[in-house]
Amino acid sequence: MGTCMFVASGLNFDVDAYFPGSPFKGKIATVFRKGQIPPRDNPQKIARPDSGFVHMVSATQEPHLQFQIGPALEFLSRNRKEFERLKRVGVDNMLLDFGMEEQQTIERAQYLPPELLKAMSRFHMGLIFSTVRIPSG
């Protein structure tokens, strides 16, 4: 299984005021707000310094990154103006998070084509690779 998620956050971003006119509101996976205490991997109960959201760009049953590249490029092209708007309304950080199911292989190389890197760099967008373990059964 593979996913591509878009994450936008900012120290002074009012995520609730942003959503009424947002093209992303239909596929929001998570919304987080400044001051909330994230439940996972946070034993010291540190509050979030920022507000933002996670939007699902694509999901597939295929475990290889190559199946996420096309949808990611289309998403970046389709939302150019919205990325600029996000910066104007307080978003400091944007990134794509490519999630892949953990495999039992020793090595698993993934290729990022230059056109994806170029499109992401236009918006100073970061990149994360996440692996998830899906329980069998």
β-strands 2-10, 93-101: how paired?
antiparallel
Lowest mean pLDDT among 42-46, 88-92, 119-123: 42-46
Over range 53-79, report the average pLDDT. Answer: 89
What is the distance between the alpha carbons of residues 103 and 134, in angstroms, rounded to a whole number? 10
Lowest mean pLDDT among 11-15, 17-21, 90-94: 17-21
| Eight-state DSSP code of residue 137 | -
In the chain, domain spans: 2-132
Task: Name the pTM for this structure.
Answer: 0.87
Distances (CA, A) of 11 to 49, 80, 88, 127, 129: 6, 22, 13, 19, 23
β-strands 28-32, 51-60: how paired?
antiparallel
Q: Give pLDDT, residue 118.
A: 95
DSSP string, 39-107: SSS-TT-PPPS-EEEEEEEEEES--STHHHHHHHHHHHHHTHHHHHHHHHTT--EEEEEEEEE--S-S-
What is the distance between the alpha carbons of residues 117 and 96, in angstroms, rounded to a whole number? 11
